[in-house]
Each structure stands twice: as C-alpha cells, then as structure tokens.
A and B are shown apart, each in its own frame.
Chain A
Amino acid sequence: MSNPGIPKQVEEILSTHRRGFLKTAGLLFIGFAAPNSPAADGPGPYPIVDPQKLDSWIVIHENNTATFYVGKTDPGQGTGTGFRQLMSDELDIAFDKTACIMGSTDITVDQVGAGGSSAMERDSWPMRRAAAEARRVLLEMASTRFGVPVDQLAVSEAVITVKAAPSKHLTYGELIGGKKFNVTLSGNNAASANGQARTKTIPELKYAGKPMHRDDIPGKVDGTAKWAVDVNLPGMVHARNVKPPYACARLTGIDESSVKNLPGFIKVMNKGNYVAVVCEREEQAINAARQLKTTWEKPATAPFPSSEDLFNYLRAAKPAVAATPALVGNPDTAFANAAKTIEAEYEIPFQGHTAFGPAHATADPSNGQMTIYSNDMKTYGMRRGIATFLGMPQDRVRVVYMQGSQGFGRTAAEDAASEAAWIAHELGKPVRMQWMRDEETAWDCKAPAFLVKLRAALDAQGNFAGYSYEARSCDYNHLGYNEPDTTLIAQLMGQRRARPSAGSAATPSDMYAIPHRKMSGEVFALAAIWETPIRTGNLRDPNGPQSAFASESFIDEVAAEVKADALEFRLKMLQAATSDDNGFRRARSIAVLKAAAQKYGWDSRPSGKPRGVGKILTGRGIAYTFRGQTMVAQIAEVEVNRETGHVWTKRLVCAHDCGFVVNPESLRTTVECGMLHGLSRALHEEVKFNTEKVTSVDWISHPTLRHADVPESIEIVMVNGDPNPNRPDLPLYGAGEACLKPTMAAVGNAIYDAIGIRIRRVPFRPERVLAALKAAGV
C-alpha cells in the first residue's frame, strides 16, 4: 500500500495555517498546526496543553479530514505514521484523510517525546483511547441528529449512516467540522487519558498491522522538508561557540580586538567559561569564532586518563557509586566446587552519538516570549529546562519541534537550544546557533565505557553451574534531558549540582537458567565530571549494547570451551527451566533463537572452526538478548582478511519479536538500520582522548560505518508474539533500540569462529584484529 505523503487537502489546511502563522511569528515557512489547532498560535503566553481535553488530541475539519496532535517526536523511524494508522483505525477515518502533528509544546500534550522505544508500547494507547472516544462522541451526535439509537448506525471512513436507511448519512466534518468536542477525558496526565469508548481489538484494525509508506519521506527526498536547521527569521543573527581548548580549562582572557573589525561582527558573548561569537551572517560567525583570541589556564590535575589507559584506570579505581550484587542461589559455593572455572574481561570504550548534523537550534525572544525551533526528541523537558535556565515562566517558553538529524538520545541531552536561548535573551534578537563538526564529535554526550569481568563455574559434566558478572561503567554525572544545571552552557557558566546523577551500569538481559548467579554493576567517575568533553548520556538502548557484548561473547566462550554448539548451548540453558513471566520471555527467547537459526541455516558444531589456508577466513556467530519485552536474536557471518585484519560482515540475520507490529515496513527498516548501527559500533567507533582533550574530532578520527561495510545480505524475521500470537489483545512492545543490542556480540562471536581468537575489546578495527592474528602466529 503506498501513500504519496501528506494528502493534498491536508496540505492545503497546513498551508492555510502557515499563512496565518506568518503574521504572528514572522516565520517564513513552517507548517505544523491546523486552523482549529488545540492551542492558540498567538504571540503567547503558551499554557501547557491539557491532556484531559479531547480537543487537545483530535481536530475534525469541515472538509471531513482530521488532524491528530500527539506529544511524541519521530526522528525517522516511522512512529508518526504508526500513530496515524492506529488513530485512523480507532476514529474510523481513511488514513489518507489524516495528518499527525508532533512534539511542539504549545499545541501538543506532553507525552515526553521520543525515547525508550516507548512510542507504540506505552504512548500510542492514550492516542488510541482519544480517537476511540471521538468516534463514540460523533456517533452520539449522529444519533441525536437522526433520532436513531447508536446501535442502529454504521460508521465507515468518517461517514455515519443509518443502517435501515442508507441514504441518511452525515460526515464527521458535517457533524463537528471546525467546532470543538468539549469532552473531558478521565485521568490526570497524558498517559492516563481515557474516555468511555473501548479501543479496537487487533482483528478490528484496518491500517495498523499493514505495511505503509512513511509520510515524512517524500519531503526528505525532494527538498521540500523543512528542518530545524532551515529556520530563517527576520532580523536573525548567527552564533558560534568558542570551546575551551582543554577539558576543565579556566578562561583568563578574551581579546575582542581580534574580531571586532571582522565583517558582520556583532558581539562576543561570555559568562564564566562560556564563550560565543555573534555575527550577522553564518559564515561570518564561523570565521569570527575561529579568529577570536582567548587565553585559558589548564587544570592543575589531569581531568581523565588517556583513552589508551582508560581500562587500567577503571581496574584500579574505586567506584563512585557502590552497588549490592544481585544474587541467585549460592554462587560462591558454585565457584568453590567448580570442576573448571573460566574468566574473561571485556572492554567497551566510550562511543559517541556523533550526530550527523551537529547540534543546532534557533531561539526567538519576540513578544517577551522565547520560542525555540529544535529537533529535540524531548521538547517538553527542553521547555522546562530552558525556562528555568533563563528564569522565565514555563508558559512563556515554547519549543517548536522540527525535523533534524538522527536522535538516538543526543537530542534529549541537547545543548544548542539553551545556548541560542541565552544569547537571544541577552541580545533581544532571534539567534541561530549551530555547533561545528569538531565540537559535536568531541563534546557531545557519549555512551559510557564499560569494563566487564565475567566468570563461569563449570561442574564435572561441563554444565554452567555458576556465573559472575561484574560491570564497571564510566557513567558518573550522566546527563539528563536539557536540565538547567547540566547542559554544557550551564556547566561552563559555573553551575554545579550538589548530587550529580549516579549513572548506571547494566547487567545482562537473558533468560538462561544458571542455578547460581552473581551480577553487579558499579559506576565509576573520571577525575573531572564538570566542564569535560567526556560527558555521558543516553545512547540508543543506554548501556545495553555494552552489557550484551560482554555477556553474549562470554556465553559463546564457555560454549566453545566445552565444545558445544553456540546455539544448542544457549537453547539448553533456556530450556533448563520451564517457568516463564507474564510476557512469555522464556518461550519467546527460544523462539527468536530458533527463528534466526532457521533463517540462517545454522550448522551445528562448536565455534572456532579449523582455519582455512586462504587469505580470507570466514565464520558465523550468534547472540541473543532482549530489551524490556522485545526479544532479539542475531547471526553474523564475517570474512576476516588475515593479511590486513579487515573484517567484512557479509551477512546479518535478525529474528525480532516486539509483539503486534503496527507498520511492518517501517519496523523492517528500523531493525535493518539499527543492526547496522550496532555493526558500526562493533567495527569502527571509539572516542579517543589524551589527558587534556578529546582527539576524536571528525569522521576520520571517529570513523563510522560506510557504504562498503554493508553486508551482502540482511535478513529480518518478524517473530510476532507470545505462544499464541493470534490473540486479539497481543501486546505492542517497543522497537528501535533492541535491534542493535546483540550485534557487537554476534560479530565478535563470528570473528572468533573465523580466526579462533577471542578479541574482547571493540571496535574490531583492522589494526586490532591484525595484532591479534600476529600475536597468535596466524
């Protein structure tokens, strides 16, 4: 089924509004609300949109189209189209007669925005309930108009017909077009919003469950999409940051004469260690920020070890936050009685978000308000954070959500908007801020480095009797969502919260029945936690890939040690218990492993096959894990060049179970791209630093996956659901994050199979693989 994008009639509505909006905001081209949008688009203030009003969620237009307003953002995985599918189904309206507006804080309810793979699993439900309630209210209205009970009315594609007299019909537009529902929903927030109507069962859904083209794609390929980077307001000026040359550096001087005669120069902005330059034109600001002469004092002690010394530092350091291990059975006894003990340590370096488009935002202080144009995933948190940061009431700050470069967590801990807002507040002019590539790569927030020590106790029969997992995560002072005291500008201006975020260290997600287990995750700090470029934040399934790399590689090691097939070894441990949870995670773990193996054509044998004699060594590896209730098993097939150490993943197979799938087409692309993100982290990504600064500053020094790395074949099996996947209430679980969680382990296990050497550190760059081959005399 194809959809040409936003339908013409809806586009006309948006255009009409666009013209109206022009007058109030002076904006050139943004369309994001319909004329009867739930909140006023005037000059402010902008009160919080009430989620307990049905009108906040749905507007029916006179031409019998509908606009949905939801508090989510979609950085490109198709959730917006998915919401339209579900809400069109519940409302009983043709999909192509609807549009979905997302994420702008003045016209949508606060559903937090994107994150945690929560779009379908959690946040689609209040949308569905609101749409179902709107349908119920429209039927009541038609019942009154016709003088016929509701049960004698039929509804299809936004037309209500009297069953006994089909010539009698009314469209939704005729019933309520241009008017408000004035219906109150129950609940006390967006998540609990509910009406009197019941939502539909899966068999009753018409669009949900079917592959649909995403509605945001046409504009992204023909150049008509409008992005947050495109905002161009009258009187707008351009700002660029001047970052400290070293971590924790103290500003000792600014020589403004170095830039004041440059063309277009307006002002140097400075407070504490925060420095930016403002110019009339963008290229002038870039030039002036480079030319500005500043002097800085280095910190007395090194803020961090070099990236080469990081894991030795973590081995020796004391935890910032101690944790009590989770215990199952009596692991100490199991290890004391073990016939054999296996130990290994895994290392995962800091890996960057390194967003393709550096941080950016435009802030407009007109009318005594502050309007932020941003691609932030969590616009509602951004509004709160910036209001507090500037000391403005929340209802005078709004965030207009626009498309942007990929999120994956970086745009939840965004920085440019706070900077643009502060400068705009100071100057009284609209300000566009954009980071440069070196700033983004060096100073963005990063996925924490992990050092994981694993031990296995095997009994005399080679059974896995005891398991110990100790993770050390370098994640102290983990960034929140645009918090007014942890964004980089706030830190540079001297903000220090008394109790920094404790961060976290993940433990494995598996259902293996190992009788005795001890698992702990402790958080460690670097010497500097403020004003440092090594800042940690949520990166797509925060900390899951690090933990899964260690745990699923180690399971593979143990399987190889006892000469067991890696798949059968896992299945045996899953089948060693019969108890399951209410999401059937045990049964579904088994199902995804079997589905992946079947798709791949898994050959049962111990891994670490005899090396070939040729230049190219081949192998296959499997890994499995879950995130929440979403189960994933993956198989990678690799070719390792023994002369260069280069690894090519020739084939990737994924079995993925996230319950009911709303849009199989967008899920498939999301899983495909997510796996390749995992592959990029397996093969390329590592943040490098010396003891003064981050030295990864561009795409050479922080490499990423490229076209030539793409597997010859990527196969995805959607294993939908629990032991009875046809149940009408089959849950929807999250997607978008689980798909990259096992990839690093699958690739590492495949490399072991190919070369017979276990490399316990990512990324598997050629020089590391080649060194391992040479050390083993291969």
Chain B
Amino acid sequence: MSRIALKVNGATHTVDIDPTTPLLYILRNDLGLQGPHFGCGLGQCGACTVIVNGAAVRSCILPTSAVRGEITTLEGLSSNGKLHPLQQAWIDEQAPQCGFCQNGQIMTAKVMLDKNPHPTDAQIRETMNNTLCRCMSYNRIQAAIKRAAKTVAA
C-alpha cells in the first residue's frame, strides 16, 4: 500500500492503495466518480476513458501510480452548472441509446476537439474508431461531434 495524491476535476485527494491498482477502480470506488465505466478491462472499448494532462486515457489499464498530472472525468466537464458544448450537443442530437459507452465517446471527442476544433468527417471516424458502442449510436455521436464543433468555433 502507498499514499498517492490525485488531482481530479480541480480537487486533490489522497488515497492509500496498492499503487498498481488501475485508476478506474480508485475513481469509481474511492472517489465516487462513476462517469467512467468498466467495459473490458483491456483498453479496447473506451468506456473507462478519462483525460489526463489533455490526453484521452483508458483508466482500466492505467496503474494509479503511473498517473502524472491532473485528471478530468465526465463529471468535471461542465463548469458552473453549464454543460460542455459536447454534452449539450449529445442532448440535442439525442445521441445515446443505453448510454453506457457515452463517457468514452464524449471524453475522446473532447480531446479531439481540444486539439483540432474543426475535424473532417474522416478525422472524426479515425479518432473515434476505437471507442465502441454496442447500441450502435455511432451516427448520432458523429452528428453530435459536428454540432459541438460548430458551437465551439462560434
């Protein structure tokens, strides 16, 4: 066990844990941040995605001791009660079906738009291609990303 300090969504937490524990379980079970979900535990599906230092990271395979920098989870996207443009676009496009994967879809899209505010259709498909959805809400997700990109640019 070791004490590890984590900065998540602007707040600092100290946890006393086995440092090899994947970050996902610390966020969900110790910090009560349950936006990220367990989908595969293999880094294949994206359900557990969080943002660490501006990069989309699969928290199910990231040892907590390897985290360097500030973490943002889905709960941290909105500011002052106002939804992030991506979240609003998700509602406007009625993107989710069951919604279980949408954490990964939104967080991956957030990092993409932060780096490239005007992605082409091909770039959206390529960047999002490893973030899976078994309800197949992909078409709506892509529409929501395009909608959000317009809002961010405006």
Contact = CB atoms under 8 A, between A and B. Distances in A.
Interface of A: 75-77, 213-214, 216-218, 220-227, 229-230, 232, 263, 281-283, 286, 354-358, 403-407, 434, 436-437, 665-666, 669-670, 672-674, 676-677, 679-680, 698-700, 704-711, 714
B87 interface: yes
A672 B100 contact: no
B94 A214 contact: yes
B135 A406 contact: yes
Interface in B15-35: 18, 21-22, 25, 28-29, 32-35
B29 A680 contact: no
Contact of B136 (A220, A229, A676): A676
A437 B136 contact: no
B83 interface: yes
Contact of B134 (A406, A437, A672): A406
Nearest to A665: B94
A248 B26 CA distance: 37
Contact of A232 (B29, B95, B132): B29
B9 to A, nearest CB: 10
A659 B140 CA distance: 25
B78 A436 contact: no
A356 B94 contact: no
B125 interface: yes
Which of B29, B95, B142 has the most C-beta atoms of chain A within 10 angstroms of its own C-beta?
A: B29
Closest 7 CB pairs of A and B: A220-B99, A676-B136, A76-B98, A223-B35, A76-B97, A356-B134, A405-B100
A677 B42 CA distance: 23
A405 B134 contact: yes
B94 A76 contact: no
Contacts of A673: 97, 135-137, 139-140
A263 B20 CA distance: 13
Contact of A213 (B28, B29, B91): B91
Contact of B44 (A220, A672, A679, A700): A700
A12 B139 CA distance: 35
Contacts of B125: 707-708, 710
A205 B28 CA distance: 44
B42 to A, nearest CB: 6
Given A222-B87, A437-B40, A283 B22 contact: yes
21 contacts: A213-B94, A217-B91, A220-B96, A221-B83, A221-B90, A222-B75, A223-B35, A263-B18, A283-B25, A356-B39, A356-B134, A357-B38, A403-B98, A406-B135, A669-B97, A676-B138, A699-B40, A699-B42, A699-B132, A708-B126, A709-B138
A213 B142 CA distance: 18
Contact of B124 (A230, A700, A706, A707): A707
Given A229-B37, A356-B39, A676-B139, A404 B98 contact: yes
Contacts of A222: 74-75, 77-78, 83, 87
A710 B94 contact: no
Contacts of B49: none
A357 B47 contact: yes
Given A221-B90, A704-B134, A707-B138, 14 more contacts: A76-B96, A213-B91, A217-B91, A217-B95, A221-B83, A221-B106, A227-B34, A227-B37, A356-B98, A356-B134, A406-B97, A665-B94, A669-B94, A706-B138
Contacts of A354: 134
A641 to B, nearest CB: 16
Given A214-B94, A672-B140, A76 B99 contact: yes
Nearest to A672: B139
A357 B133 CA distance: 10
Contact of B133 (A217, A229, A356, A358): A356
Contacts of B90: 217, 221
B40 A698 contact: yes
A436 B126 CA distance: 27
B136 A680 contact: yes
B96 A221 contact: yes
B129 A710 contact: no
B42 A404 contact: no
Contacts of A217: 90-91, 94-96, 99
B80 to A, nearest CB: 13
A105 to B, nearest CB: 21
Nearest to A407: B98
Residue with the highest number of chain B CB atoms closer than 10 Å, among A76, A226, A403, A434? A76
Q: Which of A354, A356, A679, A710 has the most CB of B within 10 A?
A: A356
Interface string B86-116: 0100110011111111110010000000000
Contacts of B25: 281-283
B130 interface: yes
Given A221-B87, A406-B97, A437-B39, A714 B139 contact: yes
Most buried by A among B77, B91, B106: B91
Contact of B99 (A232, A403, A407, A680): A403
A352 to B, nearest CB: 10
Nearest to A3: B91
Given A221-B96, A669-B94, A706 B129 contact: yes
A488 B136 CA distance: 28
A356 B134 CA distance: 6
A357 B37 contact: yes
A698 B45 CA distance: 10
A667 to B, nearest CB: 11
Given A221-B87, A676-B136, A698-B40, A710 B142 contact: yes
Contact of B132 (A282, A666, A677, A706): A706
Nearest to A706: B129
A395 to B, nearest CB: 31
A221 B90 CA distance: 7
B98 to A, nearest CB: 4
B18 A706 contact: no
A283 B26 CA distance: 9
B91 A283 contact: no
Contacts of A283: 18, 21-22, 25
A357 B38 CA distance: 7
Nearest to B64: A283
A217 B102 CA distance: 10
Contact of B137 (A357, A404, A665, A669): A669
B65 to A, nearest CB: 13
B35 A704 contact: no
Nearest to A282: B25
A676 B100 CA distance: 17
A225 B45 contact: no
A700 B140 CA distance: 24
B34 to A, nearest CB: 5
B19 to A, nearest CB: 11
A508 B93 CA distance: 35
Contacts of A263: 1, 18
